[in-house]
Amino acid sequence: VTHYRDEETGAHIARMSHYARLIASKLAETHQLSDAFLNYVLLYSPLHDIGKIAIPDTVLLKPGKLNEFEWSIMKTHVTKGVEIIEELIKEFELGNSFHSSILRNIVAYHHEKLDGSGYPYGLKGDDIPIESRIAAVADVFDALAAERPYRKAWSIDKAFNYLSENKGTLFDIECVDIFL
């Protein structure tokens, strides 16, 4: 559905969800992740940025760097996404099931950073659920390696170097190492 608004967004969510599933599958043994968990990571990762539907195109598709005010608007996509997900969970009576928590966590915490510098909650380390740490690595890699309205795509090597240089600070070490 996202391709109706922005073709690249549709491609991004497809790619990043498969990256996330690959990372999760390699973490499965050490983190006791079930096959169901792996499938829900694949299924729900595309919804990580669902809150962006509430961001005005003037901000979302701006062909240059966002100013401070625009950036503050952009960051609200996480809390708006959580609101949308909560409404869907309520509407479809999904309750607090195992899979609903995976969905919530991916949407709510995919911009959190290990050192607490992420948004919107400033979570640190293991306070960030594993599915969110997985989605963060997949999301950032694909965002860097794809062209955006505000910048050219990075080379694969440059994107890998960024992840590698920031593992343990911004990104989960194990998730990055597995992805690389």
Treating both helix axes as pointing N-terminal to C-terminal, what angle do 98-109 and 130-145 enclose, rounded to 10 degrees?
A: 50
What whole-number distance in Å separates Cα of residue 137 and Cα of residue 128?
A: 13
Helices (H), the chain: 7-27, 35-44, 57-60, 68-75, 77-91, 98-109, 130-145, 156-165, 173-179
Active-site option among 52, 80, 90, 152: 52
In sequence order, what DSSP letters do the residues of 119-131 get, joined into one string?
SSS---GGGS-HH
134 with 27: CB under 8 angstroms?
A: yes
Catalytic site residue 26? no
Q: Which positions are annotated as active-site residues?
A: 52
